Amino acid sequence: MPAVPELAEWLNGKRGEEADLVTYRLERSLDAQEGVAVPAAGGVFYGERWREAFQGMADGVLVDEPGIDPSVVAADAHLIGARRKDAWFSLPAPHLLGFRDAYMGDVEEFSETIATSYARLAREMRDLGVQGHVLVADTADAIELERLAGRKVLFFPRSPEKFDLELLLEYQGALVLPANDLSRAADLMERFRVRKLILLDAETEDLAAAAELVDPDMLEAGGYCEDDCPDYWKRLVDRAFIAR
């Protein structure tokens, strides 16, 4: 969160434009990922904006016919696309938004409706140039995975050691693991069709060890930083190579 002088300076450069604190945090999240091959602007905080795009809601409770308003996120899509054409967006998976139902009266139907609306909103953003979406998740939800997981939507388990990776891999071809948990990869890759291994916070030697399990073109170095981390991404990029 910015200090007032920093925010005031940023706002001076936004004269004539519509911008708010979410806009500021989006820009800063992308700026911090300079040098990252596939940056993802946003984070869990971006759920604030997505909540606004869901219609029929009152304080996170569905009270009327559900729908989406893509115009709420259109400016964000254009802003990030103008800065990095290869950028994705990061935001919470549906279960982290805490939506509740007071209209449909059926738990499964409500979950399916929210997941389907998520998919529609993500597709609308991709039509505006967004390359894809990373959904930060705490639990593996079968309905969410079935409706959303795909080539342009990646579920990111925030705590892989507590996450049902087996259920995730039934729907998603990318396995996300912390570097210090690489020992789990061989068994999971034997039982599921893994097309990509994303190793978090990897050192050069971790990537070399992973290259013994998968072809180098299936291997990516990834990261996740929740707090103020000015040098985090630069250090990650500097380590993301395999010594020969």
Summarised one tens digit per residue, pLDDT across range 152-186 is 999 999 998 899 999 999 999 999 999 999 999 99
Does 117 lie in the same domain as 88?
A: yes
> Within a 10 A sphere around the Cβ of 160, how many other Cβ atoms?
16
Calculate mean pLDDT across residues 135-163: 96
So what's the pLDDT on residue 212?
A: 92
pLDDT tens digits, residue range 185-241? 999 999 999 999 999 999 999 999 999 999 989 999 999 998 777 789 999 999 998
Closest C-alpha to 178, from 138, 151, 210: 210
Q: 56 and 148 share a domain?
A: yes
Query: What stretches of 149-242 show up as alpha helix (H) in DSSP?
Result: 165-169, 185-191, 204-210, 232-239
User: Of the residues 135, 161, 187, which one is the last residue of a structural domain?
Assistant: 161
Same domain, 179 and 157: no
Give the span between the Cα atoms of 130 and 88, in whole angstroms.
6
Residue-level pLDDT at 57: 96
HSE value, Cβ hemisphere, 13 Å, CA-based, for 65: 1
Query: Do 48 and 142 sit in the same domain of this protein?
Result: yes
| 224 in any annotated domain | yes
- The pLDDT value recorded for residue 230 is 78
* In-domain check, residue 43: yes
| pLDDT category of residue 102 using cuts at 50, 70 and 90 | very high
Total domain count, the chain? 2
Q: Does 229 fall in a domain?
A: yes
Query: Is residue 190 domain-shared with residue 130, that is, in the same domain?
Result: no
* Of residues 204 and 11, more confidently modeled: 204
Structure token pair of residue 77: 């899509």
15 pLDDT band, cuts 50/70/90, is low
Q: Using an 8 Å Cβ cutoff, are 72 and 128 in contact? A: no
Q: Using an 8 Å Cβ cutoff, are 92 and 135 in contact?
A: yes
| pLDDT score, position 60 | 95
What are the tens digits of pLDDT across the range 47-95? 999 999 999 999 999 999 999 999 999 999 999 999 999 999 999 999 9
**Is 13 among the domain residues?**
no
> Which of 161, 188, 215 is the endpoint of a domain?
161
In the numeric block, the tokens 């707090």 are attached to: 227
The CATH number of the domain where 104 resides is what?
3.20.20.210
CA pair distance 115, 127, nearest whole angstrom: 18
Q: What is the mean pLDDT of residues 130-141?
A: 97
User: Could you tell me how far CA 181 lies from the centroid of its own chain?
Assistant: 21
Tell me how crowded residue 126 is: count the other CB atoms within 10 A of its CB. Answer: 17
| Residues 152, 220 within the same domain | no
Domain range holding 224? 173-239
Asked if residue 15 belongs to a domain, the reply is no
Q: Are residues 99 and 180 in the same domain?
A: no
pLDDT at 73: 95
